[in-house]
Structure 1
Amino acid sequence: MKCPSLAKSLTGLLVAALPLTAALADSITLKASHQFPGGKGDVRDEMVQMIAKEVAAANVDLTIKVFPGSSLVKAPDQWKAMQTGQIDMTSLPLDYASGIHPQFGATLMPGLVKNHAHALRLNSSPFMQDIKAIIAQGGAHVLADAWLAGAFAGKDKCILKPEDAAGMKVRSAGATFAQMWAGAGASVVSIPSNEVYNAMQQGVIQGTDTSTGSFVSFRLYEQVKCITAPGDNAMWFMYEPVLISQRSWDKLNDAQKKALTTASKKAEDYFNVESKKLDDEMVETFKKNNVKVVTMSSADAEAWRAVANKTSYKVFAEKVPGGKELIEKALSVK
């Protein structure tokens, strides 16, 4: 026969343990991975670190562990790692996943984004609604939008009009830009971004395009005579959002989702200010090193778009499901 007082004590212990069990069930740790250097002032790393810090301060039993510099997952593998559950979050150049979702190639497409203000307008456009729908179909959720500007540079001369590229050997950041360069009469040389400096030095290439931040970090001001800064009529912009897998998002309770959303909005606003500073820093650094800095006129940019229309846009429209509509929707945002 059971002792009534013992049974009562055990029942009391079980009841007391229930709130603790529920609290533990709601305590979640997310792994955030990206390829960018940590602790060195890279704005994309700062963005993810800010989200982690703000979420921790919200006290909602949610912790984000950040793994920068490809320390957990290599750069090209992060989209797949998010789908398989190896990581929960990433800051990713979305074009890296275009092998799986070819529509993502539109987020590194010549001349679709003109400047930072235009990028903000694009974020709420039907074009980005379509891109985000494909991200969702792929099992991810956008926490923060981020667009990085880029530039063109010439070893011996300025590149403003398509005819300036004729006969040049050029290294390009992606397939869509390579198609446009070729359409302008350039020879495209395929080399990694970290080899551009030596390739310029040795005369393997005479021109390149990349992000404004990379132009500074790779010290390309030591190898070029002229750089075409983004200005108001940029040709080069890349979408690099902060993403969370839908599976991980669905595990969060309402308070955790709210804290993560609020933190991500703060980080996005921070990025929008800092990314423009990257452009300004590039201009200042190149001028200090006696490199000529120019910007495209609207007529120059339109001439490049005409080349892109016959090359990059045409290939994208023909080969990618819904590609034609995506290009048209992006170009319709004024």
Structure 2
Amino acid sequence: MTKKPFRALVSALISASFMAMAPATVQAADTTVLKLSHQFPASNGPDGDFRDQLAQKFAAEVTQKTGGSLKIEIYPGSSLMKTKSQFSALRKGTLDLSVLPLAYGGGEVPEVTLTLMPALVQSYEQGLRWKTAPIGVELEKILEAKGMKILTWVWQAGGIASRDKPITQPEHMKGLKVRGGDRSMDLLINGAGGAATNLPSSEIYSAMSTGVLDAALTSSTSLISYRLNEVAKSVTTARGKTFWFMFEPLLISMEAWNRLTSEQQKVVTEVGASLEPFAVEGAKRDDQRLAEVYAKSGDTVVDMDDAAFAQWVAIAKETAYKHFAENVKNGQALLDMAQAVK
């Protein structure tokens, strides 16, 4: 007689448990979660890497504006996948989102090497004008055909960290092992008499500390975030002239994009575009802060003048520009469209 009431009680408790869980289950089923991976250090405080901050802002605003129906999980410091795997993963849809130096994908999509072509972009304002110009429309078409879509246009100027003397003129690079960032920069380095070494910015510190590299070209933010001042004796800043401008957009894979509702697509597009002023502000701030950080470490801080810049441009046109025009499908047409943006 005592077993029936006990069984009834257990049955009632189980039923109540399922009823309590039901709303959460429905909510979980209605929530889409996307993973965002990038190579940059996690941001800690206002002086942290603005690219991680941009990812965090994007995630927070998307969640808020979709009422929690879309959530973004962020994996900084290549903690989800290796840096060089992210471009391919976006194309295949095995990664949903990334803040990615687009030129890293030049081996798979040669056209994207245009986004780190030496001296092609010479200011943030010029870079952002690509977005509505024919070159930007064509770039977006190419990327979407290859499996990814631009949400936030992010350009970054960069400088040169050296283990020895400052590098401002091409002759200063002769005989040095230098990291460029992609094929275009490698051609420039080789053309100046250096020996180009290709590796992601997250690996520069180790390479410079062990002597694998004598110098490295990378963005101002990476020169700071990866603490290259600890292994460098000098830096050439991007405060004035620089031939190094890289496109590092926030990208979404087309597979992830197609899983979103039309309303969610509208939100991620609007939020992505709204963060572009934040990206410009962060990049410009780091161009100035770079000098302060390296000076505080006792490193020599220099800027590039117009005469030196002109020398680099001449070498770029004979090496990187020529190679792109001759070896990339529609290369000359793409170069012409990019050069038309003033």
Q: Deviations over 1:81-118 (max 9, x none)?
A: 23333232222211122222110111122111212232
Paired residues in the alignment total 315
Partner of 1:38: 42
CA distance in 2: counterparts of 1:42 and 1:258, whole angstroms = 27
Gap change, CA 1:324 and 1:252, over 3 Å in 2: same
Following TM superposition, by how much is the alpha carbon of 1:258 offset from its aligned partner in structure 2, in angstroms?
2.4
Question: 1:1-334 to 2 correspondence within 5 Å?
Answer: 27-40=31-44, 41-60=48-67, 61-189=69-197, 193=201, 196-197=204-205, 200=208, 205-334=213-342
Q: Deviations over 1:39-65 (max 9, x none)?
A: 442222221221111111114422222
Answer whether contact 2:113 2:184 (CA < 8 A) is retained.
yes
SS at match of 2:275: helix
Equivalent residue letter for 2:192: A
CA distance in 2: counterparts of 1:287 and 1:90, whole angstroms = 32
Unaligned 5+ residue runs, structure 1?
1-20
CA distance in 2: counterparts of 1:168 and 1:93, whole angstroms = 24
Superposition CA RMSD, Å: 2.8
Question: What TM-score, normalized to structure 2?
Answer: 0.82
Equivalent residue letter for 2:70: L
Moved more, 210-219 or 48-57: 210-219
CA distance in 1: counterparts of 2:231 and 2:192, whole angstroms = 23
Moved more, 256-265 or 279-288: 256-265
Moved more, 76-85 or 271-280: 76-85
CA distance in 2: counterparts of 1:181 and 1:232, whole angstroms = 20
Following TM superposition, by how much is the alpha carbon of 1:24 offset from its aligned partner in structure 2, in angstroms?
8.3
SS at match of 1:317: helix
Answer whether contact 1:115 1:234 (CA < 8 A) is retained.
no
Following TM superposition, by how much is the alpha carbon of 1:234 offset from its aligned partner in structure 2, in angstroms?
1.4
Partner of 2:4: none
Q: Deviations over 1:240-269 (max 9, x none)?
A: 111122232233333222222222123222
CA distance in 1: counterparts of 2:225 and 2:247, whole angstroms = 19
CA distance in 1: counterparts of 2:310 and 2:120, whole angstroms = 11
Question: What TM-score, normalized to structure 1?
Answer: 0.83
Equivalent residue letter for 1:117: E
Equivalent residue letter for 1:29: V
Gap change, CA 1:175 and 1:79, over 3 Å in 2: closer
Moved more, 197-206 or 91-100: 197-206
Unaligned 5+ residue runs, structure 2?
1-24
SS at match of 1:311: helix
Equivalent residue letter for 1:33: S
Equivalent residue letter for 2:38: H
CA distance in 1: counterparts of 2:134 and 2:223, whole angstroms = 32
Answer whether contact 1:36 1:70 (CA < 8 A) is retained.
yes
SS at match of 1:141: strand
CA distance in 2: counterparts of 1:24 and 1:216, whole angstroms = 40
SS at match of 1:38: coil
